[in-house]
Structure 1
Amino acid sequence: MSWLANTRTSYDAVAEHYADQVRGSLSTKPYLRAMVMLFADLVRGAGDGPVADVGCGPGHVTAFLRDLGLAAFGVDLSPRMVEVARREHPDARFEVGSMTELDLADDSLAGLLAWWSLIHLPDDEVAIALAHFRRVLRPRAPLMIGFHEGNGTTLKTDGYGGHPMNVHVHRRPPARVTAWLHQAGFAVEASVTLDPAGRLPGAVLFAR
């Protein structure tokens, strides 16, 4: 799959600069930080246990979840991102993997977070990822998904630190992602829109 190889290669190239950009970002984004904290509360309320940050990048959100007391670990497609995450957060577990071939046991997770990591998947691959999320989550375990809100796709050809990239970035309306979640067997409990009048609005969905 060329989109998969292009995404891996692109994020390998920008890993160091991307880490510089997002390091500590939750401290300056109170709404995002509050939603991650709410997710942690939902995990604890559902029984606690292992939590996967799928598409974890350099591990900054994984580390924040661990600071909140969760047994969080990260999975990312980019080997270079995983190297950076392991270096910056040596006490945490990080693995190379794909959400479309998620190598985790059935019913093994107390929670799963996909934090702006579905944005590069083509529409016909999202159902595959969501089916894996449903498979690995325990009954009633929470799922939180963040993504770019809107319609349309753009090709990102350069990125963090000026390095060349070759990834498609998909914007999706929350109603569409909600429908996909329902089809995958999830019940959506909340939908939050972020910076609706901004250049790149976001959305976060909470589901079980």
Structure 2
Amino acid sequence: MGIDDLDMTRTAYDAVAHSYTEILRDELSHKPLDRRLLDTFADMVSAEGGTRVLDAGCGPGRISEYLHGHGLTTIGIDVSPNMIDIARRGYPALQFDVGSILDVNLADGSVEGVLAWYSIIHTPPKLLTVVFAEFWRVLAPGGLLLLSFQVGDARVRLEHAYGHAVAYDVYRLSPEKILNLLCKRGFRVAIRLVRPPIGSELQPQAYILARK
């Protein structure tokens, strides 16, 4: 994500932060498969003695809180200061910081899990190698990475979202291309799943669980 992309994404999510939080507050309640994947991720991290997970692109913190409920210590980062403010107010016991997935402010090997829940979708595909290198760097040996994203192969400019006029890009991504990038980085893929769209979704949704 170049400077322009980063600024565009930050500005858009600052604008929609409160509406986004309200609209998606109970989203997991009607997505049982998503919950099971998050449960599996949390259980696998815990089963090997892991406790620390980076929620990379945490938004208002709802997924961090979900993982915290499974006994994990979460560190949430997001480019949007407004999202981080909402997360801190909503879940004061958890850690949230403004930060970018292109340059994660964590030490090498300092977490046992990385969750990127629909947070790589605003990164230009040519920069995903940088993102995956950062995820690899902060993960401890054997650590787990869980990605989710919309399936496709196109850049979509959004000009209205969550009730606001905005201007930012969303990238539909090919699971095969993401798998290839992960394998080149050295990840071993454990789960690769694509499901049809449900509710207001327009594209199939992809989930990849991989191990360092």
TM-score range, shorter chain: over 0.9
8 Å contact kept, 1:108–1:138: yes
CA distance in 2, matches of 1:59, 1:187: 28
User: Deviation string for 1:132-154 (max 9, x for gaps)?
Assistant: 00000001111000001122111
Shift of 1:51: 0.5
Which one of the candidate residues 13, 21, 25 is aligned to 2:27?
25
Question: TM-score, normalised to structure 2's length?
Answer: 0.94
Give ranges in structure 1 of 5+ residues lacking alignment.
none
**Aligned ranges for residues 1-208 of structure 1 at < 5 Å?**
1-160=3-162, 162-195=163-196, 199-208=202-211
CA distance in 2, matches of 1:61, 1:195: 22
Counterpart AA for 1:142: L
Shift of 1:48: 1.2
8 Å contact kept, 1:46–1:141: no
CA distance in 2, matches of 1:203, 1:193: 4
Shift of 1:124: 1.4
Counterpart AA for 2:189: V
CA distance in 2, matches of 1:66, 1:189: 23
CA distance in 2, matches of 1:194, 1:93: 32
CA distance in 1, matches of 2:44, 2:15: 35
CA distance in 1, matches of 2:108, 2:30: 36
CA distance in 2, matches of 1:185, 1:104: 20
What CA RMSD, in Å, does the superposition of the two structures yield over aligned residues?
1.2
User: How many residues are paired up?
Assistant: 207
CA distance in 1, matches of 2:112, 2:164: 37
* 1:35 partner SS: helix
8 Å contact kept, 1:46–1:110: no
CA distance in 1, matches of 2:150, 2:36: 18
CA distance in 2, matches of 1:35, 1:48: 17
* 1:100 partner SS: coil
User: Deviation string for 1:27-64 (max 9, x for gaps)?
Assistant: 22100000000000110122212101000000000000
CA distance in 1, matches of 2:35, 2:195: 12
Shift of 1:199: 2.1
Q: Quote the sequence identity (%).
A: 39
Counterpart AA for 2:49: G
Counterpart AA for 1:201: P
Shift of 1:172: 1.1
Counterpart AA for 1:206: L
Counterpart AA for 1:187: R
8 Å contact kept, 2:51–2:71: no
User: Deviation string for 1:9-33 (max 9, x for gaps)?
Assistant: 0000000000001112112210000
Shift of 1:196: 5.5
CA distance in 2, matches of 1:98, 1:87: 20
CA distance in 2, matches of 1:70, 1:24: 21
Counterpart AA for 1:163: H
Counterpart AA for 2:205: G
